[in-house]
Structure 1
Amino acid sequence: MALFLFLILVAVILGLIGVAAHGLFYLLVIGVVVFVADLVLFGARWSRRRHHVVR
């Protein structure tokens, strides 16, 4: 969970820098890619946990 929150923070910071600094639009794109990848990884981990049957 800490890795998920850290990657969200990195994506937000890269996005803010990409929007604020002229000519650094690629940082916004990288921030969006990191955010989407983080959501995909979180979804994959969450779906794996739901398949375990507890008796």
Structure 2
Amino acid sequence: MIVLGVILLLLGWFLHISTILYIGVVLLVIGAVFWLLGSIGRPVGGRRAWY
């Protein structure tokens, strides 16, 4: 989710499409929160590990 967020963020930035830019920022933030929760050992979405 973080990688997709970065890709959409860059596409929105270079193509000047604000909708894609905002979606990329949201995905980046959500992915970072999930990564942080998963790294401290807290289950995310009922799963302990995401593969």
TM range (shorter): 0.5 to 0.7
Q: Which runs of 5+ in 1 are unaligned?
A: 1-6, 50-55
Show CA shifts across 1:1-55 (max 9, x none).
Answer: xxxxxx2221111011111213x11111111110110111111111126xxxxxx
Over the matched positions of the two proteins, sequence identity in percent amounts to 36
CA root-mean-square deviation: 1.5
User: Which structure is higher in helix share?
Assistant: 1
| Among 26, 41, 45, the residue aligned to 1:33 | 26
Q: Which runs of 5+ in 2 are unaligned?
A: 43-51
The equivalences for 1:1-55 within 5 A come to 7-22=1-16, 24-48=17-41
Runs of 4+ in 1 over 3 A off after TM superposition: none
| Higher-Rg member (1/2) | 1
